[in-house]
Amino acid sequence: MKKLFVKRIVALAATVTVAFSAAACGNSGAAAGNGDAAPAGSEAAEKTNAVYRTLDEIKQGGTIRIGVFSDKNPFGYVDENGEYQGYDVYFARRLGEDLGVDVEFVSTEAANRIEYLQTGKVDVILANFTVTKERAEEVDFALPYMHVALGVVSPDDKVVESLDGWDREEQMIVISGTTAETYLTENYPDIPLQKYDSYATAKNALENGNGAAWANDNTEVIAFAMQSEGYTVGIPELGSQDTIAPAVSLGNTTLLEWINEEIRLLGSERFFHADYEATLADTYGMDYEESLVVEGGGTQ
């Protein structure tokens, strides 16, 4: 009895921690990383017993609840008719179809994705969720369906194609708090960084020629180069490659295995290529299809 009480207090405290960190994290650097708010409440170790619904329970219930972003075009967003759309959503619909159930979309934020799974309030998160070691301790990731890496964009007349032999007179534009900043500081300490707080200011800085190039998530710089005349992504993949994968509640093996099997099967019909062409091609063009899409769960 007493133990149960203590357990509950711990659970409650964990929730408060998450809530405070979510409140504190706010929108800083929101423009920078679609998938990368800090892992909220990483010490929320308490594992509640079977909060999740197994594969059979979902089938019986007739509805699968999938957490997606509702404001991250082109991964998960809501169009002008109020319909969910995007790369993640396209996949979510297919999951529902193949399971033979309806899909109920739940609008999630970067900061509360883990909490939704830990409380079983959604069955799956398909919200541009980058696989990290810390997160893998709190949720179960399925096979990946997308790649992310860093990218560097620079003006056409002086395209930066390599970071070796960097001219010390030149500066690299980054957004503070992003993976790009951390990566460059660790691996290229000689490159002088010019740091900005938001996507908009960094973009202006590049357009005004304040820096030689701009390093950010490759999806962001590719989208920027597509929209703006006179800029080229000289380095489309830099540093370690991260992957984006569906996530389920920790221990929900029946659902996890079904999703993994599904991703493997979908590989044979090149589903994620079709997904890319339907949802991402408008933003990123056809040139980056192979570097962004992961088919059949296999990483190169």
Q: Which of 82, 189 has the CB closer to another protein?
A: 82
45 binds another protein (CB under 8 A): no
Scanning residues 211 to 230, which ones bind another protein (CB under 8 A)? Answer: 223, 227
208 binds another protein (CB under 8 A): no
Q: Which of 10, 265 has the CB closer to another protein?
A: 10
91: left (phi over 0), alpha (psi -120 to 50) or beta: alpha
Residue in the block written with tokens 């790369």: 87
111 binds another protein (CB under 8 A): yes
DSSP string, the chain: -HHHHHHHHHHHHHHHHHHHHHHHHTTTTTTT-TT----TTTT-----TT-SPPHHHHHHHTEEEEEEESEETTTEEE-TTS-EESHHHHHHHHHHHHHTSEEEEEEE-GGGHHHHHHTTSSSEE-SS-B--HHHHTTEEE----EEEEEEEEEEGGG----STT--TTS-EEEETTSHHHHHHHHH-TTSPEEEESSHHHHHHHHHTTSSSEEEEEHHHHHHHHHHSTTEEEEEEEEEEEEEE--EEETT-HHHHHHHHHHHHHHHHTTHHHHHIIIIIHHHH-STTHHHHB--TT---
23 binds another protein (CB under 8 A): yes
Q: Which of 48, 187 has the CB closer to another protein?
A: 48
Q: Which of 7, 158 has the CB closer to another protein?
A: 7
**Helices 87-99, 253-268: inter-axial angle, 10-degree rounding:** 110
290 binds another protein (CB under 8 A): no
Residue 109 Cβ vs another protein, minimum distance, rounded to whole Å = 6
Q: Which of 143, 223 has the CB closer to another protein?
A: 223
Q: Which of 40, 148 has the CB closer to another protein?
A: 40
One residue of 101, 108, 144, 256 binding another protein per CB under 8 A: 108
One residue of 6, 8, 45, 167 binding another protein per CB under 8 A: 8
81 binds another protein (CB under 8 A): yes
12 binds another protein (CB under 8 A): yes
107 binds another protein (CB under 8 A): yes
User: Side chain identity at 227, as an amino acid letter?
Assistant: Q
Q: Which of 79, 98 has the CB closer to another protein?
A: 79
198 binds another protein (CB under 8 A): no
Peptide bond into 236 cis (omega under 30): no
109 binds another protein (CB under 8 A): yes
77 binds another protein (CB under 8 A): yes
Scanning residues 225 to 284, which ones bind another protein (CB under 8 A)? Answer: 227, 282-283
The number of residues that bind another protein (CB under 8 A) is: 41
Q: Which of 93, 264 has the CB closer to another protein?
A: 93
> What is the spatial order of strands in the sheet that 124-125 belongs to?
102-108, 63-69, 124-125, 247-249, 139-141
User: Which stretch in 87-95, 119-127, 138-146, 163-171 sits in contact with another protein by CB under 8 A?
Assistant: 119-127
Provide the binding-site residues for another protein, judged by CB under 8 A: 8, 11-12, 14-16, 18-20, 22-23, 46, 48, 51, 70-73, 77-82, 85, 106-109, 111-112, 115-116, 118-121, 223, 227, 282-283
